[in-house]
Structure 1
Amino acid sequence: MERKLWLDKPEDGSQTEVGQLKGCHFLELEISSPQPTTTYQQMEGADGSKDMGTTYGPRTLSASFLIEGDDVFSFQQLQREVWLLFLSREAYYVRCSDNPGMRWLVHAKPFEYSVLDMLNKTFTVELEAFQGFAESVGTTLDPFTFDSELWQNGQGLIGEDFQYQFSNNKFSVYNAGDLLVDPREHELLITIEGQSEGATRIHNKTTGDVFVYNPVLLGTDVLTIDGPYPKINGLHCGRSTNHGLIRLATGWNDIEIHNAIGLQVSFLFRFLYH
């Protein structure tokens, strides 16, 4: 089966399959390994060093292509179209038919062509995945079916009926990715509708995180935690909270919401992968 590579532009929602450029043939996409960096602190008077944690740096994706022209003019036009496609000022997502359920946010590095003959050249684009991870194409509120063309094998979604919308106060949210979802760095939208008898308290028992909204919720109110920003009916309300955050660990997260009744709750996020 012919391999395909897509470039998805978040600013306008456009999706381009590189093979749609006549004469441009995608060959392969190579992905470098994760790039962990561990920080240590040496303690005076103590042996060894203290582990201060590990972070992951940018990774490189190498996309290889062959371009073929009908004549010199069409070949030069094709080269220009390729430059315009890859060398964008804005970051864009790359996804490959080898792993169609995952995408990488990248910037392309400058590249040159290797000449085979007058009308045939090869080139390799180095794409810097500066976040250091891939994310699922689908979100938790998309259909979990292979017919949706958003998911693939190897994403940790086999054998369970996963839910991300709830109408009770105790439930579990599954993070199928390899990484903790931190709303300060990653997309996470929690929406709560219902009434409260005092402050609304959201507790992720798995991570220990607690978020508190102090005013009473009316039945018409919509409380959202959009990344790190809490909002009530679309308006920022950080001063009315404990300034807490809700993160999602890998695997199951046991969530409990206190002092609220008649709930409708949803968790919208993408899974993150090494």
Structure 2
Amino acid sequence: MGKPKLYVKAGNDAEIEVSAVINGLEFLGDSTSPNILNTYQQNTGVDGQILVASNFDKSTVNANFHLRFGSYYDLKLAKHEIYRLFSSRKSIRIRTDAEPAIVKYVMATPFDIAPTEDYSHDSLFTIPFDNPSGYKYSLARSDEIDTNNKLIQMGMYLPSDKDCPYHFTTTNFQVYNPSDIAIEPYEQRHDFRIEASFNGNSLKITNTTNDTTWAYNKPAVKSDKIILNGVNTTLNGNPASVNTDYGNITLNTGWNSISVTGATDVDINFSFPFIYIG
């Protein structure tokens, strides 16, 4: 078995494998755990407390490294390269070869790089990354994935016994959410986009599994591109939420039954990253 690998992508830069670009640096693996934040309400005179909300708070990803260097000057140069790579004011995307199709968006917190002992040519150090969302995401969005490409891996909980499309031209279909949690663009501000084109006087999309709905109440032709991005709607790139009922669609975990009414000639695409915990 090969050594663990850490891949880093900062902004629009190309993704890099850290041990390939910093001489002597070896990634040893990472660890993280969900950080569950429970909020309670205490009522005077009543025993115990009432659970008000349970949320996933920001978590910490600890990435462990070994640095081998030849001299004090090599150590100084390597430290500068490591701090330059990881210490950014912006979020960076990381993934490992253990979960090649899963990414985290993180920011480094303070860390030190020092020899393991005097006159040593080795350093063992840990970079604690803040993971503000507390989530892990699929590398690719739902509409970029098919069962034969490299953008999926074991543990993503995609069905193996049934096709799992996200592009539809019928008025009744099923959408699969393999995430650990529901996709909630309004309540949790999750990244979720529905792209729709239709001929007709209106379009209403209903998730009959959980009774969430969104309706576009104006006529359109098939060349129009209507996008529900979270809770905001655009028509051909221009704001168009005023043309809707201001609804939103959420996806339960697993299969969701979707019904489309108001138009018969439709083209609908569901696009979202899968969300995982831990």
Q: Which runs of 5+ in 1 are unaligned?
A: none
Question: Aligned-pair distance for 1:96?
Answer: 1.1
Residue range with higher mean Cα deviation, 127-136 or 67-76: 67-76
RMSD after superposition: 1.8
1:190 lines up with 2:191 in the alignment: no
Alignment-mate amino acid for residue 29 of structure 1: D
Residue range with higher mean Cα deviation, 157-166 or 36-45: 36-45
Give the one of 209, 212, 220 matched to 1:209: 212
1:30 lines up with 2:43 in the alignment: no
Percent of aligned positions with the same letter in both sequences? 27
Rate the CA distance shift 1:38–1:143 in 2: closer, same or farther, 3 A. Answer: closer
Tell me how far apart the structure 2 counterparts of residues 103 and 194 of structure 1 sit (CA, whole Å). 34
What TM-score results when the alignment is normalised by the length of structure 2? 0.91
Give the one of 234, 250, 255 matched to 1:252: 255
Counterpart in 1 of 2:39?
Answer: 39
Counterpart in 2 of 1:70?
Answer: 70
Tell me how far apart the structure 2 counterparts of residues 14 and 211 of structure 1 sit (CA, whole Å). 37
Tell me how far apart the structure 2 counterparts of residues 127 and 267 of structure 1 sit (CA, whole Å). 31
- Which aligned pairs between 1:1-274 and structure 2 lie closer than 5 A? 1-9=2-10, 11-20=11-20, 21-31=22-32, 33-42=33-42, 48-116=48-116, 117-145=119-147, 148-159=149-160, 160-184=162-186, 185-196=189-200, 198-274=201-277
Question: Aligned-pair distance for 1:165?
Answer: 0.4
Alignment-mate amino acid for residue 131 of structure 2: A
Is the partner of 2:259 in helix, strand or coil?
strand
Question: Aligned-pair distance for 1:193?
Answer: 1.0
Alignment-mate amino acid for residue 17 of structure 1: E
Is the partner of 1:36 in helix, strand or coil?
strand
Deviations 1:182-221 (A, max 9, x none): 224222111111112x331111112221111111122321
Question: Aligned-pair distance for 1:114?
Answer: 3.5
Question: Aligned-pair distance for 1:56?
Answer: 0.8
Tell me how far apart the structure 2 counterparts of residues 4 and 49 of structure 1 sit (CA, whole Å). 45
Tell me how far apart the structure 2 counterparts of residues 45 and 222 of structure 1 sit (CA, whole Å). 57
Question: Aligned-pair distance for 1:77?
Answer: 0.8
Alignment-mate amino acid for residue 235 of structure 1: N
Tell me how far apart the structure 2 counterparts of residues 195 and 183 of structure 1 sit (CA, whole Å). 26
Rate the CA distance shift 1:152–1:37 in 2: closer, same or farther, 3 A. Answer: same
Deviations 1:103-146 (A, max 9, x none): 11111111012413443212100011110110111211223246
- Is the Cα contact below 8 Å between 2:102 and 2:137 reproduced in 1? yes
What TM-score results when the alignment is normalised by the length of structure 1? 0.92
Equivalenced residue count is: 270
Tell me how far apart the structure 2 counterparts of residues 50 and 240 of structure 1 sit (CA, whole Å). 40
Alignment-mate amino acid for residue 154 of structure 1: G
- Is the Cα contact below 8 Å between 2:191 and 2:273 reproduced in 1? yes
Rate the CA distance shift 1:44–1:69 in 2: closer, same or farther, 3 A. Answer: closer
Is the partner of 1:138 in helix, strand or coil?
strand
